[in-house]
Amino acid sequence: MVGFILTGHGQFSNGLASAIDMVAGDQPAFQIVPFEGSQAASYGEDLRAAITAMREECEGVLVFVDLLGGTPFNQAMMIAADVDNVEVVTGTNLPMLIELLLTRGSGSGLSELAEQAVSVGQMGVTHQSVAAMAAVENDLGDEDGI
């Protein structure tokens, strides 16, 4: 199994992890490493320890970060340069994480999962208008959401 580590600025990883728990339940080989200002001095070491530990129990580790070029991204990339079978995906969103958590056991490898994350993440970003949604609701009737 490929392990997942979620990190980002402030409460980003905590919030997404809470939403994942609500929608998809508790997930194995899934860990968060928040980047909090008060713990900035130890963040790199904390992230490295989490990735290294996950790497020992999983065939690879996919690190999900919030922002390209930010500290979590930079630290994850430095660690990925030192530790085998670690990939980094930026621009993490909830649809991306839920789909990958629910499909990662399907035999896909680390690189395939990273590519799938980008594809699903992009599909999860859309623009909707009230008029368009009203037309969709009229077509669907009274179905419940997620």
Boundaries of domain holding 51: 2-140
Burial per residue of 104-124, b for 16 or more beta-carbon CB atoms within 10 angstroms, e otherwise: beeeeebeebbebbeebbeee
- Whichever domain contains 118, its CATH number is 3.40.50.510
Task: Report d(CA 59, CA 41) in Å as an integer.
Answer: 29
Give domain status of residue 44, yes or no: yes
Compute the distance between CA of residue 114 and CA of residue 128 in angstroms, rounded to an integer. 27
Q: What positions carry a catalytic annotation?
A: 9
Contact indicator for 9, 66 with CB cutoff of 8 Å:
yes
Residue 118, in any domain of the structure: yes
Chain centroid, CA 78 distance in Å: 18
Based on the structure, what is the number of domains in the chain? Answer: 1
46: in domain? yes
pLDDT tens-place values along the chain, 146 residues long: 999 999 999 999 999 999 999 999 999 999 999 999 888 899 999 999 999 999 999 999 999 999 999 999 999 999 999 999 999 999 999 999 999 999 888 778 999 999 999 999 999 998 888 887 787 777 776 556 66
Is residue 146, in this structure, part of any structural domain at all? Answer: no
145 part of a folded domain: no
In a domain, 78, yes or no: yes
Q: Does residue 111 lie within any of the structural domains?
A: yes
